[in-house]
Amino acid sequence: MYRNGNYSAFYVSEPFDECNLGASATRDFVYYNLLRAWKAEDDSFPFYDSHEKNYNVRDGSDWETTLKPRLRSRLNNSKNIILFLSSITKSSRALREEIDYGVNTKGLPVIVVYPEFHEENDIVTSTSKFKLNLTSLWDSVPIFRDSMNNVPTLHIPNKKLLLSQALKDSDFMVNTKCDIGRFFYPV
């Protein structure tokens, strides 16, 4: 199967409706929209939105017969997951499904973007250990925390240049992924 999309996973309160101003104003959703804006202004930005590849997900749809199958279809056509993880992120049903199916069933590598961190040295200490304020965010999505040992994960601040580099990195694509581990770009 040819998988060329980047699946963006982010928290929004449920029920979710992209047309609802409440969802669009949710910080994690705003960061996903920033990816789309970067792509719109620069066609060479290597983001290929898996969410645009099939029908939209809307409120009122049945979880088991409509929403869950559409999320899975998008993940099936993706080469990785971009997970936005911030202080407001919560373990919603959709986010749990996206991580569980994407990581534990499909083996998709995860590029974790921390929007509240701005520099590479916000991610790790001088001794190359992940900082406590970052690792404490993992607890907000237990399925992610507990599944990180199944695929390679790359942890970066929300910087366009770093995200572009990550999206081009074959170590974080499903068909060419590197060994399992937690990675960051050198500080």
pLDDT at 72: 93
CA–CA separation, 8 and 166 (whole Å): 14
Are 173 and 110 a contacting pair, CB within 8 Å?
A: no
Q: Which of 75, 81, 93, 156 is nearest to 120 (CA)?
A: 156
Q: What is the pTM of this model?
A: 0.91
Q: Which fold has domain 5-183?
A: Rossmann fold (3.40.50)
Mean pLDDT score of the chain: 89
What is the residue extent of each domain of the chain? 5-183
pLDDT at 63: 72
**Within 10 A of 60 (CB to CB), how many other CB atoms are there?**
8
pLDDT at 12: 79
C-alpha distances in angstroms, 155 versus 66, 84, 110? 32, 10, 8
- Coil, strand or helix: which one is 105? helix
Q: What is the pLDDT of residues 84-110, one digit of tens each?
A: 999 999 999 999 999 999 999 999 999
CA–CA separation, 81 and 98 (whole Å): 9
Question: What stretches in the chain show pLDDT beneath 50?
Answer: none
CA–CA separation, 84 and 95 (whole Å): 11
pLDDT at 58: 53
pLDDT at 56: 56
Strand positions, DSSP E, the chain? 5-9, 78-84, 110-114, 152-157, 181-183
